[in-house]
Structure 1
Amino acid sequence: MESVARGGTRWKRFALVMVPSVAATAAIGIGLAQGALAASFTVSGQQFKVKAGHIEGYGFSSYGAVDTGYEEMTGDGKTARAVSVSSFKTATIRDMCQSVVTDLPVLGKITMRMTAGEGKEPVKARNLYLDIAQLDGNATFDDIDIGVAVKDTDNAAGPDGPAGQGPPVKGRVQENGFAQQARKATLTDVEQTAWATTAGSFSLAGLKMRLLRGDGPDAECF
């Protein structure tokens, strides 16, 4: 899937985001150690939380990358941050919750909380890419390869980022950087914070959205 341009618009804080995946912190460290990663991916500058009871995904890969945003602006108006890009070709998610907090004039902190996949039908996603800051949970991998180059993973795109293959390698990741991939990944009891998510398609069964005053565990997903 071709990389999606995302700016600093406030409403992007309320963009519907998807499932958690595995954060490859080693990929970030090794990628940065090999040299400066180009920062060409602009995000809103605000993290969001996602919680899921069970995720089953196929065609998994993970590698380090860089996003830029408008939080803590530098001289050029952007701040680079290391992320772990995790991706699935297809995924089903059960008991999913996503929340984001924003400060509004007069009203103060408001949490937008969305849930889906709590009934018979799960959430379904295709060509899913997540820019992760941290993740907690349990994971099982089938047919895993650890230490492959980013450019050699099944989910990595070429320099021009052809449609259907995710964000382009050129620009914000190193083509020969550290990566891992697996035929199947199963995750349970997942709690994740992330900067951005993109997907080719995303089907939310039983979607519910609520606006709650305040933040913390009583309003957010965790």
Structure 2
Amino acid sequence: MKDTSGAQVLGRTSLKRLGMVMVPTLAVAGVLGVMMANGAIAMSLAISGQTAQMTVGELSGTGFAQYGGVDQESNGTPVAVAVSSFTSATISNGLCQSVTTDLSKLTGGLLGNYTLTLKASGATASSLVIDLQTLNATEADFSGMNIGTDAGASGGAPGLFAQTATSADLKNVQQVSNATTAGSFDLQNMSLSIAPGTTGCIQ
């Protein structure tokens, strides 16, 4: 199943040559990333200001790049992010994405915190770009690594420090992100649920 539309977390204010993806934008106010079908089109998107949690059993991709960047909330507030992008990526051994939203202001206090959770057995993505706050993995293997390249050659701002690799393989990934975009994102065995509370994918 293809998830190419989604919620309100969107890309960064700088040009994005690689549209980013990760578990696509699931939805809702602030889910991790909005799935864009833009691929190599420059984007200027306003993020929600919320963050999403994601866990992945294994993430393997080609055309990897990583550099610093700045997202912008709809009210104009800048947010520093670490950008990770892949030309193509495969997720296996389970995927979980969650975002918690306070619904009290929308319901006059009748509802509080609710967490939206998306799960899938695996996924494939193209032009995947993730704007991160944190990322942890028990193992990270890179091939064809170049450290200190110009971010402008990888979709970031020219003159900024970047690192690239022809391929990357990360295991037992836990990440917190502000936004995700992608040219395409295909999920296998997807399920979606919303429940009261703040329990997300990262325990």
For residues 44-102 of structure 1, what are the alpha-carbon distances to aligned partners after superposition, in whole Å with 9 as ceiling and x for unaligned?
110010100111111100111101114xxxxxx32111101110011110211000001
**Residue pair 1:17, 1:98 contacting (<8 A) in 2 also:** no
Task: Indicate conservation of the 8 Å contact 2:32/2:179, yes or no.
Answer: no
Alignment check: 8 A CA contact 1:68 1:78 kept: yes
Matching of residue 126 in structure 1 with residue 126 in structure 2: yes
SS where residue 182 of structure 2 aligns? strand
User: 3-state SS of the aligned residue for 1:13?
Assistant: coil
Q: Which residue of 1 aligns with 2:183?
A: 200
Q: Distance in 2 between matches of 1:129 and 1:92?
A: 13
Written as runs of structure 1 = structure 2, the 5 A alignment for 1:98-117 is 98-104=97-103, 105=107, 106-117=110-121
Structure 2: how far apart are the matches of 1:192 and 1:152?
Answer: 25
Asked if residue 44 in structure 1 is aligned to residue 33 in structure 2, the reply is no
Question: 1:174-216 CA deviation, whole Å, 9 max, x = no partner?
Answer: x011000001100011110000011000000100011111013
Asked whether 1:97 is paired with 2:101, we answer no
**Residue aligning to 2:192:** 209
Q: TM-score, normalised by structure 1?
A: 0.69
Number of residue pairs matched by the alignment: 165
TM-score by length of 2: 0.75
Partner of 1:87: 85
**Which one-letter code corresponds to 2:201 in the other structure?**
C
Structure 1 contact 101–112 (Cα < 8 Å) conserved:
yes
Match of 2:66 in 1: 62
Label 1:108 to 1:136 Cα distance change in 2 as closer, same or farther (>3 A).
Answer: same
Are 1:111 and 1:211, in contact at CA under 8 Å, matched by a contact in 2? yes
- Structure 2 SS opposite 1:51: strand
Structure 1: which 5+ runs fail to align? Answer: 5-9, 19-39, 71-76, 157-168
Deviation at 1:41, TM superposition (A): 4.5
1:182 to 139, 152, 165: 165
Question: Which SS does the other structure have where 1:176 is aligned?
Answer: coil
Task: Give me the CA root mean square deviation.
Answer: 2.1
Q: Do 2:31 and 2:52's aligned partners in 1 also have CA atoms closer than 8 Å?
A: no
Distance in 2 between the 1:205 and 1:199 partners? 16
3-state SS in 2 of match to 1:115: strand
Q: Which amino acid aligns with 2:98?
A: S
Contact kept in structure 1, 2:146 and 2:165, CA below 8 Å: yes
Shift of 1:114: 0.5
Larger CA Rg, structure 1 vs 2: 1
CA 1:67–1:221: 2 relative to 1, 3 Å: same
Deviating beyond 6 angstroms after TM superposition, the runs of 4 or more aligned structure 1 residues are none
Instruction: Provide the rounded CA distance (Å) in 2 between the counterparts of 1:17 and 1:98.
Output: 13
